[in-house]
Amino acid sequence: MKYTGHLRKMITEHTSPVHYQIPVDDQFIPISDLIGKKITFKHLGDIHCIACGKKTSKSFNQGYCFPCMRSLAECDSCMISPEKCHYAEGTCRDEAWGQEHCFIDHYVYLANSSGLKVGITRETNVPSRWMDQGAAAALPIYKTKNRLLCGLVEAFFKKQVNDKTSWQRMLKGKPDKIDLIQRRDELFARFKQDIAAINKEHGAGSVAELTDQQPLEFNFPVTNYPEKVKSLNFDKTPEIAGKLVGIKAQYLILDSGVLNIRKFAGYLVEFTVN
C-alpha cells in the first residue's frame, strides 16, 4: 500500500471506536484499518499552503503560508479569542466569510479530554470538534446565535474551568470519568447573572441554556498508550516510521512516538505500509 500527496487533517467518523481516514490530495488512507501495522511517512521536501496552494518554506497555523496567515479571516486572532470579534467595527478580514462561519449557531460545551475543559464550536462542527480534541465525552450546554456570544460566555467560564487540553496527558490514557451534567448545573448556577446580562444586552434568547442534552461519548482506537510522549516532527526527521498502536484526536500513536497529522497539513509525503 503506497500513497503520495499532500496531507490534510484526518477525517473522523463517530463510530465505536472512532474511525479515521487521512486525506492525501484526492486519496484517502484507511488509517484505522492499519492499527498493528508498521507504517512509514517520508516528507518529500515540499510544503504547499492549504488555502492558496502556493509553495512555502514554512507552514503557519497548521497549513497556511505566511501571506494567507496574515490575511485570511480563518487565521485572525479572534478565531483563538472569539470574545474579541471585531466584525462590528468594520475591520473583519473577510465579511462574507464571517457571515458564513461566525454568524451561525454556536455551542458552548464541556468536554473531558485531559480533564474538564470548556470550549466553543460551530454547530456544523459537531461532533468532529470533540473527536479532534481527543475528548472521552462532551456535552453542549449553551446555544448562541453567533461566535461572539459564545466567546463572551466562554470568557466567564474560563474563570472556573480550563479552556485548554493538555495533549501530552490526553495521549497517555483515558481520563478519569467526570459527571458533565453535574458540572454543567454547577456552572449554570454560578454564572446565571452573567448570562442574564449578556441576554439583556444582545436580546432575549441570544444565549440559551441546553438542559435536555446528554453527554456524547467517544472511544478511540488505541491498543497501547505511551508512558512518555515523544513528539515526531517532519521538519526535524523527514522519514518517520513505526508500528501504529493507536489514533487519538489528530495524533497517530506509533511505538516510536506521536505524530500530529493536522500540524503538517500541506506537507508532501510518501506513505507506505511495511
- In tens, the pLDDT along 61-87 reads 999 999 999 999 999 999 999 999 999
Split into its structural domains, the chain has a count of 2
178 in the same domain as 96: yes
192 in the same domain as 64: no
- Distance (Å, whole) CA 192 – CA 39: 51
pLDDT of res. 215: 98
92 in the same domain as 205: yes
Residue 118: count of CB within 10 angstroms of its CB: 22
| Domain housing 60 | 2-68+221-273
- Distance (Å, whole) CA 106 – CA 55: 34
Check pLDDT > 90 for residue 274: no
- Distance (Å, whole) CA 41 – CA 33: 16
169 in the same domain as 238: no
158 in the same domain as 45: no
177 in the same domain as 51: no
Nearest alpha-carbon partner for 249 in 258, 236, 240 = 258
- The kind and range of the H/E element at 160 are none
Average pLDDT taken over every residue of the chain: 96
The percentage of the chain sitting over the pLDDT mark of 70, rounded to a whole number, equals: 100
The percentage of the chain sitting over the pLDDT mark of 90, rounded to a whole number, equals: 99
Alpha helix locations (H) across 6-71? 66-71
Please tell me the pTM assigned to this model.
Answer: 0.95
Check pLDDT > 90 for residue 103: yes
233 in the same domain as 195: no
199 in the same domain as 96: yes
Cell matching residue 63:
497549513
Check pLDDT > 90 for residue 266: yes
Within 89-206, strands assigned E span 106-112, 116-122, 137-144
- Distance (Å, whole) CA 141 – CA 213: 8
212 in the same domain as 83: yes
Tell me: the pLDDT tens digits for 125-176?
Answer: 999 999 999 999 999 999 999 999 999 999 999 989 999 999 999 999 999 9
Report how far Cα 11 is from the mean position of its chain's Cα atoms. Answer: 11
